[in-house]
Amino acid sequence: MNNPNDQPGGTEERRPSLGAPGERRLSPEERRRVTRAAFLRPMGLFVVVIGGVFSVLTLSWWAVVLTLATYATLAFLAARDPLFWAHVLEGREYRLETRPAPSREEASLERRVRQLPHGETRRKVEEALDLHRRTMVAIEESDDVARTVLDDAIPKLHGIAGRLVGVAERREEVAGTIRALENHAGAPQREDRDADLAGLKNELRAADEEISRTVEKLSPLRSKVVRISVESGGAAQEAAARLNADLDEMNLRLDALRSSTSSP
């Protein structure tokens, strides 16, 4: 891919675009701006205020140490976050309004989700796809080392998104079948109908639990990617291996659920 900064007559001192995944060198002035903004983040200052009040009220010296350590950690992670760089240096919204257009696969998933009935299931799946997108952007915005160790995570993340949408679609089919059976007025096959209802309700419950569980497991992934970009060498590889293991588990669970609940 051509780099927009590689132009005739250009100089290496020119600030690289923060949206380009491979460019991660800040000038000293830019580094100072990012560091200052990291230490002045409201979240970090809030931690300092709460910790200070607690230490004064309890006269606990360890609270001061814990507060400063937490504050420094939050500032350090923010200063290493490429999304935060874009927010400080280019004025982008922190929620990535300028993300690239979705791929054909992502667009297809979004269309399928829009066809789901409005309700809790659709809300959770939309949340999961948003978490998936944010994690993908965090990987793309990472440095070369982080992207290399996280290369295997990309197809696994796509697999989770596709399988989750499939589970949600099947869940809504089951919900519709349950409603139809419950509204059926015929009594001669009542025992058979009750048995079918019990099985379908168990299937529905399993799908709801797995969808909720997947959203919970996806929630911290972007933060984990940012932490991996801070690590180096063996530590980054170990953290990436743990993340990949979590992704494998999610894919296996969703696959197992889809296999056990697929339509005959």
Predicted confidence at residue 214, as pLDDT, reads: 95
Do 44 and 117 lie in one domain? The reply is no
Range of 247's domain? 104-261
Averaged pLDDT of the chain: 77
Res. 11 pLDDT band, cuts 50 70 90: very low
Do 147 and 206 lie in one domain? The reply is yes
Question: Position of tokens 């869940």?
Answer: 171
Burial label for 222, CB within 10 Å (0-12, 13-18, 19+), is: buried
Tell me the per-residue pLDDT of 155-195, one tens digit each, with 9 for 90 and over: 999 999 999 999 999 999 999 988 888 887 555 566 666 77
Do 57 and 176 lie in one domain? The reply is no
Q: Is 91 left (phi over 0), alpha (psi -120 to 50) or beta?
A: left
Locate the DSSP E strands across 94-178. none
On whether residue 228 sits in a domain, the answer given is: yes
Give the Cα separation of 133 and 224 in Å (integer).
14
Question: Position of tokens 């009750």?
Answer: 194
Is 26 in contact with 34 (CB distance < 8 Å)? Answer: yes
Looking at per-residue pLDDT, the higher value among 7 and 68 belongs to 68
Predicted confidence at residue 106, as pLDDT, reads: 65
Do 130 and 197 lie in one domain? The reply is yes
Do 237 and 114 lie in one domain? The reply is yes
User: Which residues are CB-neighbours of 166 under 8 A, at least 6 positions away?
Assistant: 254, 258
Do 77 and 117 lie in one domain? The reply is no
pTM of the model: 0.60
Tell me the per-residue pLDDT of 227-248, one tens digit each, with 9 for 90 and over: 888 877 788 888 889 999 999 9
Angle between helix 120-140 and helix 221-230 axes, rounded to 10 deg: 10
Q: What is the arithmetic mean of pLDDT over 11-25?
A: 42
Number of domains in the chain: 2
- The pLDDT of residue 59 is above 70: yes
Do 256 and 129 lie in one domain? The reply is yes
Do 131 and 75 lie in one domain? The reply is no
Res. 13 pLDDT band, cuts 50 70 90: very low
On whether residue 219 sits in a domain, the answer given is: yes
On whether residue 15 sits in a domain, the answer given is: no
